[in-house]
Each structure stands twice: as structure tokens, then as C-alpha cells.
């Protein structure tokens, strides 16, 4: 009787040890399995004005490709271009101005054949009150006008060009408030930190702000080139998808003009 209990306890102990050994092996196997399924990361630097459209595309593409993880870095195209030239680990650059991609081609960071214009946009002046024309910007009732910093923000560069051709740049220069990107210019108007902002039509589309379209002839064409960075190790699948008909439908839903 006494010996039976001891033997039974030893048997139970052996079973317990076997259970934990199998559990440990299972854990190791699962760990190795999760490592083998590690996702491939694609890093994209993109103009701030593309954020909503690209967020939609990200969800759709990752659902169809569960092994891919797309990471976006949004900002002013000029700042993003400088980051890439400085060695930022980026695979794709979706710019709001051709000259920012041209800078990378000249620097040898992008091959001239690995870029393509995908979209176009339009410039508008936005305000909570109706604007009858650009000349209204010179009215005394308007004290602050928000635009992107022209040296870094393409929308700001287009705005400066348009205002200069309309002979308004000098008269209203003291009213200008410079922003880090086009979205901040829009936010300044919405929060009443500026009376007027000059932004893209796509930025203003779903707001309640009054819009005044700015004549396309007053500035260079607003184009959005997509570039594949030379040192990127990714294949071209997502680069090509961003140019596809499926992607174009998303851009169009946000007001962009596609090629």
C-alpha cells in the first residue's frame, strides 16, 4: 500500500515533467514559426495632402497582402526630399512637386526611369467668408493669410507664384503666415488663426470652408510624381499598384485628377 503510493507519485511526477517539456518545445516551435512569418516592410514618404487617399490604399493592399506592412511618413515634399538625400531609409517617395523628385534624380538617389507622374491637383483659397476674387486678399478685413513655407512646401511655392503673377505678393506679404505643410495652412483657417489659407482643392473638399479656385495659368502645373528610391530592396509590386486603376479610383474619390 505504502509502496503503491510512492510509485504512483513518481509516475505522476514523470507525466508532469513530460507535459512541461512538450510545452517548452511547442513554445520554441511557435516562436520559430512567428519569426518565419515576419512581414516585409515598405516605407513610403508622401506629401501631407495624400494622407487620406493613401491610408485607404494601405488598408486594401495589406488585406490582400498579409505579408506586407506599409509604413507612411507624411510631410512637406521639400522636407521629405531632404531627408531622403540625407540617407533616410525610404523605399518610395510620393511628392507634390516634380522638382523635389528632380533633386533626387540629380543626387543619384532616384533613377530617371523609376519615376512617374500619377496625379494632378488645383490650388484654392479658403475662408469662412466668401471670397469674390484674389484681390480680396488685399482688403483690410483680412489680416492673416496662411500658406506653406515656399522653400519646403510645394503648395506654398505654387501660392507664391500665383500671388506674384497676380501682383499681390508684395501688397499682402506682411499678412502671410507660413506653415510646415499644406494641412497646417488649412487647420489655421479652420481654427480661426488665419482669415484665409491657400491650399489644394483636395484638402478643402470635405470642409465647410468657402473656396475660391485659383487660375491654373497663374502657377506651374501641380503634379504628383511617384519615385522608387534607388537603394530600395523591395520589388516594384506596390510601386506599380500605386499607379493602377484600383488606386486611381481611390485618388479620384478624394478629388485628385489622375493621369
Instruction: Transcribe 80-94 into DSSP letters.
Output: HHHHHHTT---SEEE
Q: Are 132 and 108 in a shared domain? A: no
Dump pLDDT digits (tens) for 106-123.
999 999 999 999 999 999
14: pLDDT strictly greater than 70: no
How many angstroms separate the most distant Cα atoms in the chain?
108
Q: Give the mean pLDDT of 77-101.
A: 96
Report if residue 185 sits inside a domain.
yes
Residue-number span of the structural domain to which 195 is assigned: 123-218
* pLDDT above 50 (res 125): yes
Question: Does residue 27 sit within a domain?
Answer: no
pLDDT recorded at residue 30:
47
178 is in an annotated binding site: no
What global pTM score does this model have? 0.80
Residues 211 and 129 in one domain: yes
Indicate whether 206 and 233 sit together in one domain: no
Look up residue 70 and give its three cell numbers: 506599409
- The rounded distance, in Å, linking the Cα atoms of 62 and 94 is 18
Sign of CA pseudo-dihedral 184, 186, 189, 195: positive
Q: Are 127 and 214 members of one domain?
A: yes
- Specify the number of domains making up the chain: 2
| 160 inside domain | yes
pLDDT band at residue 97 using 50, 70 and 90 as cut-offs: very high
Distance CA 35, CA 33 (A): 5
pLDDT given at position 135: 97
φ, ψ for residue 47 (rounded to 5)? -60, 140
Q: Are residues 114 and 235 in the same domain?
A: yes
Within-domain flag for 130: yes
Are 184 and 205 contained in the same domain? yes
Q: Is residue 18 in a domain?
A: no
CB 201 within 8 A of CB 115: no
Residues 105, 231: one domain?
yes
241 is in an annotated binding site: no
Are residues 136 and 207 part of one domain? Answer: yes
Question: Is 182 among the annotated ligand-binding positions?
Answer: yes
In this structure, the answer to whether residues 245 and 183 fall within a common structural domain is no
Q: Which of 15-19, 36-40, 136-140, 158-162 shows the lowest mean pLDDT across its residues?
A: 15-19
Evaluate if residue 81 carries a pLDDT over 60. yes
The answer to whether residues 31 and 49 touch, using CB atoms and an 8 Å cutoff, is no
Q: Is 158 annotated as a binding residue?
A: no
Read out DSSP for the chain? -HHHHHHHHHHHHHHHHHHHHHHHHHHHHHHHHHHHTPPEEEEEEEEGGGHHHHHHHHHHHHHH-TTEEEEEEEE-HHHHHHHHHTT---SEEE-SSHHHHHHHHHTTSEEEEEEEEEEE--EEEEESS--SSGGGGGSTT---EEEE-TTT-HHHHHHHHHHHHTT-HHHHGGGEEEESSHHHHHHHHHTTS-SEEEEEHHHHTTSS-EEEEPPGGGS---EEEEEEETT--S-SHHHHHTTSHHHHHHHHHTTPEE-
CATH number where 102 lies: 3.40.190.10
Q: Is residue 151, in this structure, part of any structural domain at all?
A: yes
Q: Is 49 annotated as a binding residue?
A: yes
pLDDT in tens, 180-207: 999 999 999 999 999 999 999 999 998 9
Q: How confident is the model at residue 86 (pLDDT cuts 50, 70, 90)?
A: very high
Looking at the domain assignment, is residue 96 inside a domain? yes
Domain presence at residue 3 = no
Amino acid at each position: 500500500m505504502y509502496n503503491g503510493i510512492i510509485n504512483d507519485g513518481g509516475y505522476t511526477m514523470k507525466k508532469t515533467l513530460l507535459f512541461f517539456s512538450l510545452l517548452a518545445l511547442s513554445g520554441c516551435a511557435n516562436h520559430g514559426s512567428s519569426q518565419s512569418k515576419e512581414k516585409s516592410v515598405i516605407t513610403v514618404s508622401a506629401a501631407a495632402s495624400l494622407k487620406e487617399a493613401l491610408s485607404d490604399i494601405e488598408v486594401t493592399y495589406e488585406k490582400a497582402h498579409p505579408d506586407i506592412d506599409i509604413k507612411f511618413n507624411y510631410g512637406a515634399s521639400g522636407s521629405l526630399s531632404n531627408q531622403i538625400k540625407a540617407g533616410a531609409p525610404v523605399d518610395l517617395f510620393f511628392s507634390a512637386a516634380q522638382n523635389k523628385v528632380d533633386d533626387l534624380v540629380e543626387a543619384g538617389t532616384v533613377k530617371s526611369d523609376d519615376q512617374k507622374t500619377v496625379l494632378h491637383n488645383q490650388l484654392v483659397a479658403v475662408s469662412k467668408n466668401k471670397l469674390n476674387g484674389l484681390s480680396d486678399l488685399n482688403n483690410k478685413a483680412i489680416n492673416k493669410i496662411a500658406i506653406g513655407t515656399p522653400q519646403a512646401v510645394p503648395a506654398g511655392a505654387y501660392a507664391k507664384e500665383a500671388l506674384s503673377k497676380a501682383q499681390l505678393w508684395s501688397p499682402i506679404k506682411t499678412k502671410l503666415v507660413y506653415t510646415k505643410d499644406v494641412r497646417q495652412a488649412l487647420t489655421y483657417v479652420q481654427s480661426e488663426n488665419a482669415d484665409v489659407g491657400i491650399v489644394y482643392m483636395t484638402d478643402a473638399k470635405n470642409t465647410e470652408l468657402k473656396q475660391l479656385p485659383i487660375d491654373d495659368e497663374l502657377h506651374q502645373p501641380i503634379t504628383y510624381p511617384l519615385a522608387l528610391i534607388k537603394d530600395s530592396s523591395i520589388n516594384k509590386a506596390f510601386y506599380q499598384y500605386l499607379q493602377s486603376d484600383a488606386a486611381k479610383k481611390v485618388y479620384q474619390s478624394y478629388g485628385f485628377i489622375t493621369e
